[in-house]
Amino acid sequence: MEYKKMNYNKNFITKVIFRIDFNVIPNLQSERQPEFSEKIKARYPNFESKQTAQIIFTASGSTTGIQQELKGWTWEHRNENKKRVVSLTSESLTIEYGDEEFTVFNDFATDVTEIYSIFHSLYKPSEVSRIGLRYIDEIVIPEGNPLEWKNLISDDLACAATAGLGNDMKLLRSMHQLQARRNDIAILFSYGIHNPDYPNPIARKHFILDTDCYIAEPTKADEVIRKFRELNDVAEYMFESSIKDGLREVMGVLV
């Protein structure tokens, strides 16, 4: 898997999510604010706790019922502009950057590494059951034919988005999905024209690249950050393989 690593002056990332899942940590099952919250308070000062629940459907003969069962607590920590969120439960840790928050990977990786280090030092899990990294790029070009992506999106993806469209048809939506694997990394890649104006015909130049890379098998706790970087390598490869130089020119390559 070869590609040239690139950093850009701007990007089209509207969301990036890093998440790990692990066995239940008993200390995080009570409603008491965890020590973790205090440790990251300087960077994520806005704190909120939420009780989570699961809905259980029951059926016995001709009788059915719905029961809500309280499952635990979620502690959400947001930065000052509330576009970065760190969520902690007794079974998962999630770091999410919203629109315009992600600049370059190294900055994001520093945040992930420091937050994971705090989590690990407090709760000392021996392993995690799943690691995931997802990038959502919403490529919006303010002008031009909304179905024309020459020199912006790879020919394969652009052609797939309009394959089978007759001359007398108006495209309403065209999303596609690829599932693949590279060693222990699973890849779920969704792409195409989602159309924010659906069910009206497509009128805006708007292309989605949604790359979800994950490892759904036990990973030693001290391997998490290395695996996180491997996930990013795959995600970067998928992105660079999906775009062309015209879009790189729009984004501007950082020297």
* Residue burial 164-196, b: 16+ Cβ < 10 Å; e: rest: eeeeeeeeeebeeeeeeeeeebbbebbbbbbbe
Q: How far apart are CA 96 and CA 99, in angstroms?
A: 10
Residue by residue, pLDDT tens for the chain (255 residues) are 677 788 899 999 999 999 999 999 999 998 899 999 999 999 999 999 988 765 555 565 566 666 555 568 999 999 999 999 999 999 999 999 999 999 999 999 999 999 999 999 999 999 999 999 999 999 999 999 999 999 999 999 999 999 999 888 999 999 999 999 999 999 999 999 999 999 999 999 999 999 999 999 999 999 999 999 999 999 999 999 999 999 999 999 886
- pLDDT for 63 equals 60
Q: How far apart are CA 35 and CA 59, in angstroms?
A: 41
Count Cα atoms within 13 angstroms, Cβ side, for 21.
Answer: 9
Nearest to 231 by CA among 242, 248, 216, 247: 216
The packing angle between helices 105-123 and 224-242, to 10°, is: 150
Nearest to 57 by CA among 46, 69, 73, 47: 69
Nearest to 49 by CA among 22, 72, 82: 72
As given in the structure block, the two tokens for residue 97 are: 């950057």
As given in the structure block, the two tokens for residue 150 are: 């020459």
Q: What is the DSSP letter of 204?
A: S
- pLDDT for 74 equals 96
Which neighbouring-strand residues pair with 73? 51
Q: How far apart are CA 74 and CA 237, in angstroms?
A: 33
Cβ(97)–Cβ(110) under 8 Å? no
